Amino acid sequence: MLLLVGLGNPSPDNEHNRHNIGFKVIDAINKKFSLSKQKPKFKGLLTTGIIEDKKVYAIKPLTFMNNSGQAIRELIEYFKIDLKDVFVFHDDLDIEFGKIKAKFAGSSAGHNGIESIDKFIGKDYSRIRIGIGRPDSKDEVADHVLKNFDEEEKEKMIHTIKKITSSISILIDKKLELFSSKVNQT
């Protein structure tokens, strides 16, 4: 049993923000693998299905980014999902735009959504960090993550998300380095 989590903010104003790339990934996975219709459960929008003969739950927490851990903890406890079977997709300022880094455990690197998850369930889960680039000034970070993708960036992210969904079997087999390498090929 696997849990795929996409981080983002649920308000319509945030739908196309850089911070919502995790939601976009979950939407693409739901579509590609014909997971169930999204239902409001566990403080999020939950879907279920089978990917590569594995039972999968996919959720977009509706608790807003900074409280993402609440929804995830409830879901993990209810279905008794092992933390090693949790994969969290989120934006990352420290990675080049459109690049991916997958890793198991580690620090939050200041990402509030990841800090919330760490607080509620610990750090022993996989993180799929999707690069959104860093603004020139530290003062611009909050505006940067809440800014919508421009048309060129949007096209690049669509391409990145397609690479993620086409390599999902590598990810769910927990071959994180191979997954990162494959999705970052041009």
Q: Give the residue numbers annotated as catalytic, written as ranges.
A: 19
SS3 assignment, position 82: coil
For 26, the token pair is 């979950």
| Residues in CB range of 129: below 8 A, 6 or more apart | 90, 91, 92, 95, 100, 101, 102, 103
- 28-50: burial string, b at 16+ Cβ within 10 Å, e else: bbbeebebeebeebbbbbbbbee
d(CA 172, CA 56): 10
Nearest to 157 by CA among 110, 113, 116, 99: 99
| 4 φ, ψ (degrees, to nearest 5) | -105, 125
d(CA 59, CA 81): 13
